[in-house]
Amino acid sequence: MTQISQFFPVWDQLTPGQQQQLSEAAVLRSLPKGSVLHGGVDQCTGLLLIHSGQLRAYALSDQGRQITLYRLFERDICLMSASCMMRSLQFDVTIQAEKDTQVTIIPSQVYKQVMEQSAPLANYTNEIMASRFTDVMWLMEQVMWKSLDRRLAEFLLEESALENTLQLRITHEAIGEHLGSAREVITKMLRYFQSEGMVKLSRGMVELTDPDKLEELRDRS
Amino acid sequence: MTQISQFFPVWDQLTPGQQQQLSEAAVLRSLPKGSVLHGGVDQCTGLLLIHSGQLRAYALSDQGRQITLYRLFERDICLMSASCMMRSLQFDVTIQAEKDTQVTIIPSQVYKQVMEQSAPLANYTNEIMASRFTDVMWLMEQVMWKSLDRRLAEFLLEESALENTLQLRITHEAIGEHLGSAREVITKMLRYFQSEGMVKLSRGMVELTDPDKLEELRDRS
């Protein structure tokens, strides 16, 4: 289990009292795969320090459509689950465990209290937010300037790398939820990929049959 | 002219030395309408405190397409022109003066120095970034879930409110740059609006002839 201190490069710049405040409030928790942790501005679970597993942050439309904003892995800190700490952070992000995930939770109020006293912690929190902001700007540019075929190729390659397999157990619906597209649109594009020999489709499965060609498509300028 | 102190609600929580550091480094500057101030991660002009005028922050694609991310007005602080302060802020935003604009510039290095010492200033900077993050998330959701006709209606109404006129002097190209769409797409949609009696088009001009109907379209769920 990773120590709390190892999540914060600025830990040594906190006073012993501040270190104690954070440590004492911290709670270990297991999030089973599929569980949804944070659903919007109202809930405010706290900061999540990820020991193992994988989280997905996504936005949800009124009509129930989803788009994956970013993913968090071992050693990452999830700030959006403590968004109530910041008055000006006024948008809803939902956090879902994509794998069985072990986290330490630091309650928002405690973290906020320490952050208000500690310039190093406030500046480090700034950096975490800046990273997520950068993720979202990247996605924004993808959505604006990149066509869906390239984004789909990229998604399949990324999933394949994450799961360490060419045979992805994933539905067209789930892919749509990552990319913010309707299932029908994904199905149509996947069938096109299949006709080009890049994937092979079967029930609940997408097999990458020509990763090189998918990479070529992804990197096309 | 607004005092620097009035831009920062936490000014009184800075030490006299910190206040002096910021004040002494501050430089007044006029940005003529149309001037581009900050073009990417490499340049790092500094924090801009806006006394009067209007700034537009936009993203630029490799192909030269633009999309407006947010706008800043009197009393706002532009943080993205000082993005080099934060290691994790890794995306390019261009800032353009949409009107003749008066700003006070605080050089990034000076601001960063004070922010690293002052928890109140670091936390306030966090809030500024959170506001811009919120703006971009809002836009992201617009782009993902809202159709172009509604976004165009919204843009025309906003412009009309900002300029305080129903007769907008703006080209289809410029509208495209705000909304991230090609000129032809905007022209087609504006012609449709015209056929519906919502606007009247002439050279370099879009006249809002039925703002109520545009509002209806914008608010359609």
The helix (H) or strand (E) run that includes residue A24 is helix A16-25
Q: Please say if the pLDDT value at position A178 is more than 80.
A: yes
Nearest CB to B129 within list A65, A130, A143: A130
Name the average pLDDT for chain A: 93
pLDDT at B149: 92
Q: Name the one residue in this structure whose structure tokens are 């700003």.
A: B103
* Per-state percent for chain B, helix, strand, coil, to nearest 5: 50, 25, 30
Enumerate the residues of chain A whose CB falls inside 8 A of the CB of residue B221. 62
Mean pLDDT along residues A59-71: 89
pLDDT at A221: 64
pLDDT at A25: 97
List the structure tokens of A108: 């928002």
Residue type, position B67, single letter? I
Closest Cα partner for A142 from B67, B23, B217? B67
Q: Please say if the pLDDT value at position A32 is more than 70.
A: yes
**CA-nearest residue of chain B to A80?**
B130
Do B59 and A132 count as a contact with CB atoms less than 8 A apart? no
HSE value, Cβ hemisphere, 13 Å, CA-based, for B107: 7
Q: Other CB atoms closer than 10 Å to residue B186's CB: what's the count?
A: 23
- Encode pLDDT of A91-131 as tens digits: 889 999 999 999 999 999 999 999 999 999 999 999 999 99
User: Is there a contact between B48 and B103 (Cβ–Cβ < 8 Å)?
Assistant: yes
Closest Cα partner for A157 from A196, A219, A208? A208
Closest Cα partner for B69 from B206, B214, B202, B180? B180
First to last CA, chain A: 43
pLDDT at A28: 96
DSSP state of B82: G
Residues contacting A14, CB < 8 A, separation 6+: A8, A22, A114, A118, A120, A121
Nearest CB to B133 within list A133, A143, A144: A133
DSSP state of A206: E
pLDDT at A39: 60
Q: CA B219, CA B154: separation in Å to the nearest integer?
A: 9
A73 pairs with which residues across the strands? Answer: A54
Shortest alpha-carbon distance between residue B84 and chain A (Å): 11
Confidence band of A75 (pLDDT split at 50, 70, 90): very high
The helix (H) or strand (E) run that includes residue A139 is helix A119-145
List the structure tokens of B103: 């700003």
Structural domains of chain B ordered from first start: 4-144 (2.60.120.10), 146-219 (1.10.10.10)
* pLDDT per residue as tens, chain B (221 positions): 789 999 999 999 999 999 999 999 999 999 999 999 876 556 788 999 999 999 999 998 888 889 999 999 999 999 999 988 888 988 889 999 999 999 999 999 999 999 999 999 999 999 999 999 999 998 988 888 888 999 999 999 999 999 999 999 999 999 999 999 889 999 999 999 998 899 999 999 999 999 999 999 998 86
Going from the C-alpha of B209 to that of each of B145, B168, B213, the distances in angstroms are 27, 11, 9
Shortest alpha-carbon distance between residue A25 and chain B (Å): 21
List the structure tokens of B187: 């022209």
> How much is the pTM?
0.88
pLDDT at A12: 98
